[in-house]
Amino acid sequence: MGSTGLWFVAIALIATITTADSAEAQQGRIAYLFGAARSSGMKMDLMVVDIDNGNTVSLTNDREIAYTRGGTDNSYALAWSPDGRRIAFKVHDQIDVIGVEDGARQTLNTGAGGLPGDPAWSPDGTRIAFTRLDRDRDIFVVDVAGGEPVQLTDSPDRDAAPAWSPDGRKIAFWSGRDGNAEIYVMNADGSDQTRLTDSPEADMNPAWSPDGSRIAYGSGPSISTRRGTNIWVMAADGGNAVNLTGNPNTDTYNAAPTWSPDGTWIAYLYILGTRGQIRAIHVDSGDRIEVTPNTGTLSLFPSWSPATPFETLIEAVSWGRLKGDLR
């Protein structure tokens, strides 16, 4: 693939939401939060972009998503429904589900008390895992159609950023229960909670590869700082961990990974100072691409829609250029 083709891929990572009538046309999209940088935080919207004509559409209004800088558990993550028709997201003190085409909204029942976040849709589309902050942050699951949430974790420290395995049998998450932020995995009913990583770094925000064989995550010096964090990839059993971004710049923050549907690319959040953008890295070659410009605006928390033919995205977008090796 030439440099132009690689950049097509990069743009497709971020600008891939359509409002087509057919289910087939609804494939191949990425949602993200967009806003202007502020010293302490920002007001953001959930954005969509038509890849055929580049038109940008906001699914929310008036910058209603209030993002506070310094968050460490990715509670603003976005979650696509498996059919690509809806997106779950945190807004105010609740989790809403919004229709991509019609904008219809539903507020998820996250239970009484606490601050919810980190929505993650089950592969069969029937449940959403999420976190709730009471005295600490724990993981719950609730049926999308209704009912009361069921608590899955109950540790003395935070449990955050749940991520379903593609077969729906397991949920990966990160926890500080053993004195350091590490990646864990449990059965979907909360049983057999097992630690996968054991490093001096803070390991957070796991994301399963589409085939379920690998888990990407962010790893850095501590959960209280964004500096010096990189994207790592390991086997689903915790072995063979590799530093994918390997950025020697200790001022950078690389986090919130999301896989391409064919498992060859990972898009992630990159922050340097007060500016944030989305970048992408090829899992095998290490080629890196700037997806959004590094300007005063911020594009955060990319979430790639399911079942996207990668080469289709390459053909769909026709602007930009390869930035080259960003290491």
* Averages of pLDDT over each 10 residues, the chain, 327 residues: 42 36 45 70 72 63 68 70 92 91 93 90 97 91 95 93 97 94 97 95 95 96 77 96 82 87 88 78 88 72 69 34 37
Residue-level pLDDT at 301: 87
Q: Which two tokens stand for residue 61?
A: 């209004």
* Structural tokens at position 160: 């955050």
Q: Which amino acid, 88?
A: A
pLDDT at position 56: 64
pLDDT at position 27: 34
What φ, ψ does residue 5 adopt, rounded to 5°?
-60, -40
Contacts of 314 (CB under 8 A, 6+ apart): 1, 5, 8, 9, 12
> What residues form DSSP beta bridges with 252?
272
Give the start-to-end residue ranges of the domains of the chain. Answer: 3-316
Q: What is the pTM of this model?
A: 0.82
Pair 165, 187: CB distance under 8 Å:
no
- Rounded to 10 degrees, the C-alpha dihedral 59/63/67/68 comes to 180
Q: Which helix (H) or strand (E) holds 67?
A: strand 65-68
pLDDT given for residue 10 in this prediction: 41
Question: Which one-letter DSSP state was computed for residue 11?
Answer: H
Phi, psi of 280 (to 5 degrees): -135, 150
Cβ burial of 239 (10 Å; 0-12, 13-18, 19+) is exposed
Query: What SS3 state is found at 314?
Result: helix
Task: For residue 205, list its beta bridge partners.
Answer: none
CA 69 from chain center: how many Å? 17
Domain 3-316 in CATH 2.120.10.30? The answer is yes
Which run of H or E residues covers position 87? strand 86-91
pLDDT for position 130: 96
CA 218 vs CA 4, 67, 104: distances in Å: 28, 20, 33
Q: How far apart are CA 2 and CA 5, in angstroms?
A: 5
Is residue 279 a contact partner of residue 267, using CB atoms and an 8 Å limit? yes
| CB-CB neighbours of 128 under 10 Å | 26
Q: Name which of 191, 205, 108 is nearest 154 in CA terms.
A: 191
The rounded Cα 94 to chain-centroid distance in angstroms is 18
Which two three-digit tokens encode residue 129? 């895992």
